[in-house]
Amino acid sequence: MAHKVYINYNDVHDYVGKLTAPVAEVGVKKWLTKRLTQHLMSAYSHVTEVKPRALGSHFKEKEIPMVLQKAVENNEQIYRFKKSSVFANQIAQVIDYLRHLENTSVNISGMPFDVACAQSEAWHKSFAKPKRKVAKINMEGLTLVTTFDNGCFLAELISQEQFAYESKMMAHCVESYYGRNYSKILTYRTEENKPLLTMEIVDKHPGYYQIVQAKGFANKGFIPEEHIQNVLRYFHATHSNVGYQDCLIFGHKIDEKPVIIMPEGSVFKRGMYERAIEVRCCVGLPKNAVFEGDLHLMAAQMPILKDITVKGSLIIEDSLIVAIMDTVNVTGNIVISQSLTSIIAPQLQSKVRRQK
């Protein structure tokens, strides 16, 4: 398949880098860097076409990169890379499968991308069971993290038996995570000790904590909002540097699209290697949320933007936001590009920069 020409080529490599960063296995890292990048640059379908005449407005006074100039001369199609939470979840499961293979001394270097995806799906399905029963387990063996008002609790898995129990009850592959020293596995359970959610967390580097995965039963499971709110409130209360992207793994689905649920007053920070806090396809932001850095809204659809604080610039792109109210506090500028925003509070007018 032909090599794709991207207007934001570096974003592809940044995306691969973020997915690869928490992985410790050298062979898996190499496979992702090569095979995943090849897929994104050729067969990946979650992209938008960019018309050649739009390149000038995109780069403005900067020189258009030579690779794009050549693409225009050769009448090649130019694309814009778009992130997909569904695809990221698929890759996370492939990573689990590849880790399993490498830990059993299987050479994965030559495995094609499509083959890895197919085998990963079959491997994960092998964990699924049609029924599960709540078993009694010695609670003293669990490392309790916190309890909630509804009787549910959060605990860290430590022993091999605990990992095996969680894997059996949740019908997923968390038992293959036992023995890793670069992440922690937490289980969210009911008062009756029934697991509802399994999470992997990583301290990526000092000052930046990340929720890598959150899986319900059989790697699916958008659990009831009550439980999601419990988990998120705990993390936001105890880890002030939890990023916005960490919350994208929680939520419910409406028409197969995830609806993110976040508690009011959440504080979000960008990662060390991120230029801005990116929020895509959102229909609302949590009330009184604080974004510590530039906030980049893309494909957002909401009638009113209000009750947030942005300690940086607010960038609105390809979005439909009818009104920006006076309860939006922005330290930097408000940059509006290819968006319909007709009503802006008077005190914010001087900060507005419109781009075609």
The helix (run of H) or strand (run of E) holding residue 228 is helix 225-238
The rounded distance, in Å, linking the Cα atoms of 211 and 222 is 16
Please list the residue range(s) of the chain that carry CATH number 3.40.630: 137-250
CA distances from 294 to 239, 283, 314, 341 (A): 20, 19, 6, 19
> Can you give the pTM of this predicted structure?
0.58
| DSSP 3-state percent helix, strand, coil across the chain (nearest 5) | 35, 25, 40
pLDDT in tens, 225-282: 778 778 877 876 766 555 555 555 554 443 444 445 566 777 777 765 567 888 776 7
Tell me the angle at which helices 9-20 and 85-103 cross, rounded to the nearest 10 degrees.
50
Region of residue 219 (phi > 0: left; psi between -120 and 50: alpha; otherwise: beta): left
Strand 320-324 relative to strand 78-81, pairing = unpaired
pLDDT in tens, 72-116: 888 888 888 887 767 877 888 888 889 888 878 888 888 999 999
Q: Is 82 helix (H, G, I), strand (E, B) or coil?
A: coil
283: closest CA among 255, 309, 311?
A: 255
Using the structure block, give the residue that is written with the tokens 């794009």.
68
Domain 137-250 in CATH 3.40.630: yes
What pLDDT, on the 0 to 100 scale, is given for residue 243?
Answer: 56
The rounded distance, in Å, linking the Cα atoms of 135 and 208 is 36
Strand 184-189 relative to strand 153-156, pairing = antiparallel
